[in-house]
């Protein structure tokens, strides 16, 4: 069990994560790939088991007690999410499959119904593919085109260039809160204020931010905010689209089916109110329950404590890595989260990841679903170390030992 703590102690917290006890290639697992997906505390695993053992029924339809209870539990998590991100209304919280589906929902509902030929959607050079491709797909049917905010070599967005991109043709800004490669924390408040001065709505990809520090959508004043449960220590298969109520109300449904209607006849169907209008079909109820447990867990630890633990570890790891000859880090922004992408000499990132894997260390190597960013960095791929609330300095020390071995093998 964990208790309310002033400072996060990763050695105490680790005991909550059963998977951290297992081995990788016969060595104790050192998990440095939390940006891809975070591991789950037993509180989340137990909540899902408890739900299936005691509470499962389909929601929003049964009159019997079990279905009523399942509905209550599901809707309770919607309220939890609302307070977690400080939304104004619970119906602004739409449960989807993850960040990817949240962005596709906005692209296909908002974009398809509003974009005209020649309209512009502004994204940044550091976007994950899931905040690029949906806009291109909508562009193909509407004639809208992408414009791209460039960045400095530090990995910080060029806000002057951004200002110049905002014109009467700009119909939406879609930008990431934290880069999954560079770790850059983008100035969303400023980006939003500039867009709003010209009545342009802003979508924020919060996939890497929601697990990292406190998010307040009202303070950011963004119009949409998307994130995934599995990156915030909850289960896979569920995520959230936050949208301002007034905006969501004007948008057409994204998918049709059960639970999203008011009345159906062959002549005409009318749609349900928010949030059901955007939640067609039986949702991933168990995963929503698990997300609720994950939020409870994060709130007990304290998002501020999580952020400062990862900041401390980021500084330690960066210092250590910089001491390795021939190692080059991509992303040195002043405001940065616990993600470090790097290359070592001309050793292929996959070779580095393979050697580390044999030492029990899980890191990601590749383009990290950000091929346009790789082009900007002039590399085909990087190694990426990403930190979670359970990582320790000792694990970073082990990473250094692994990288020394890489240098010996390929040097």
Catalytic site residues?
A: 369
State both tokens at 221: 């004043």
Tokens 């300095």 — which residue?
A: 393
- Nearer Cβ to ligand 7TS, position 15 or 36? 36
Specify whether the CB–CB gap between 209 and 196 falls below 8 A.
no
Please state the closest distance from residue 373 (CB atom) to ligand 7TS, in A: 11
Please state the closest distance from residue 209 (CB atom) to ligand 7TS, in A: 8
Give Cα 409 distance to the centre of its chain.
35
**Nearest in space to 26 (alpha carbons), one of 377, 272, 359:** 359
Taking the CA of residue 77 as centre, how many other CA atoms within 13 Å lie in the half-sphere pointing to its CB? 26
Radius of gyration of the chain (CA): 22
Neighbours of 5 (CB within 10 A): 13
Q: List residues near ligand 7TS by CB under 6 A.
A: 35-36, 98-100, 128, 130-131, 176, 180, 205, 207-208, 228, 364, 368-369
What is the dihedral angle through the alpha carbons of 155, 161, 167, 170, rounded to the nearest 10 degrees?
-20
- Nearer Cβ to ligand 7TS, position 100 or 276? 100
Give Cα 199 distance to the centre of its chain.
26
CA–CA gap between residue 119 and residue 127 (Å, rounded): 20
Please state the closest distance from residue 234 (CB atom) to ligand 7TS, in A: 11
Please state the closest distance from residue 228 (CB atom) to ligand 7TS, in A: 3
Neighbours of 339 (CB within 10 A): 25
Please state the closest distance from residue 136 (CB atom) to ligand 7TS, in A: 15
- Nearer Cβ to ligand 7TS, position 78 or 364? 364
State both tokens at 334: 């002043």
CA–CA gap between residue 334 and residue 403 (Å, rounded): 26
- Nearer Cβ to ligand 7TS, position 337 or 347? 337
CA–CA gap between residue 183 and residue 335 (Å, rounded): 8
The DSSP bridge pattern shows strands 339-344 and 382-386 to be antiparallel
| Phi, psi (rounded to 5 degrees) for 298 | -65, -40
**Nearest in space to 41 (alpha carbons), one of 287, 310, 294:** 294
CA–CA gap between residue 234 and residue 247 (Å, rounded): 28
- Nearer Cβ to ligand 7TS, position 70 or 365? 365
Please state the closest distance from residue 176 (CB atom) to ligand 7TS, in A: 5
| Phi, psi (rounded to 5 degrees) for 269 | -115, 140
Please state the closest distance from residue 341 (CB atom) to ligand 7TS, in A: 10
Assign 229 to helix, strand or coil: helix
CA–CA gap between residue 107 and residue 102 (Å, rounded): 9
Please state the closest distance from residue 328 (CB atom) to ligand 7TS, in A: 20
- Nearer Cβ to ligand 7TS, position 70 or 98? 98
The DSSP bridge pattern shows strands 327-330 and 339-344 to be antiparallel
- Nearer Cβ to ligand 7TS, position 119 or 384? 384
- Nearer Cβ to ligand 7TS, position 119 or 208? 208
């Amino acid at each position: 069990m964990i208790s309310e703590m002033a400072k996060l102690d990763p050695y105490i917290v680790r005991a909550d994560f059963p998977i951290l006890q297992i081995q990788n290639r016969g060595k104790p697992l050192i998990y440095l790939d939390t940006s891809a997906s975070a591991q789950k505390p037993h509180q989340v695993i137990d909540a899902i088991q408890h739900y299936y053992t005691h509470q499962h029924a389909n929601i929003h339809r049964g009159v019997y007690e079990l279905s009523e209870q399942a509905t209550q539990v599901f809707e309770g998590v919607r309220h939890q999410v609302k307070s977690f991100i400080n939304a104004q209304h619970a119906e602004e919280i739409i449960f989807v499959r993850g960040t990817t589906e949240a962005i596709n929902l906005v692209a296909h509902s908002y974009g398809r119904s509003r974009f005209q030929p020649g309209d512009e959607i502004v994204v940044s050079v550091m976007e994950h593919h899931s905040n690029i491709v949906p806009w291109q797909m909508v562009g193909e049917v509407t004639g809208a085109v992408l414009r791209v905010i460039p960045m400095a070599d530090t990995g910080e967005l060029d806000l002057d260039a951004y200002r110049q991109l905002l014109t009467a043709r700009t119909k939406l800004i879609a930008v990431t809160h934290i880069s999954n490669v560079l770790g850059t924390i983008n100035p969303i408040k400023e980006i939003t204020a500039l867009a709003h001065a010209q009545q342009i709505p802003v979508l924020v990809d919060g996939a890497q931010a929601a697990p990292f520090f406190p998010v307040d959508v009202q303070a950011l004043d963004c119009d949409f905010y998307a994130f995934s449960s599995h990156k915030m220590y909850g289960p896979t298969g569920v995520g959230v689209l936050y949208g301002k109520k007034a905006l969501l109300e004007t948008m057409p449904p994204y998918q049709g089916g059960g639970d999203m209607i008011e009345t159906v006849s062959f002549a005409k169907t009318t749609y349900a109110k928010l949030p059901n209008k955007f939640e067609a079909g039986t949702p991933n109820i168990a995963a929503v329950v698990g997300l609720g447990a994950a939020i409870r867990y994060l709130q007990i630890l304290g998002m501020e404590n999580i952020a400062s633990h990862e900041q401390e570890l980021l500084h330690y790891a960066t210092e250590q890595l910089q001491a390795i000859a021939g190692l080059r880090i991509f992303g040195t922004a002043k405001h940065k989260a616990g993600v470090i992408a790097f290359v070592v000499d001309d050793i292929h990132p996959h070779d580095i990841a393979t050697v580390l894997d044999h030492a029990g260390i899980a890191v990601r190597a590749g383009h990290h679903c950000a091929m346009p960013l790789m082009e900007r960095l002039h590399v085909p791929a990087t190694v990426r170390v990403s930190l979670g609330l359970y990582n320790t300095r000792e694990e970073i020390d082990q990473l250094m030992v692994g990288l020394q071995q890489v240098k010996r093998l390929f040097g």
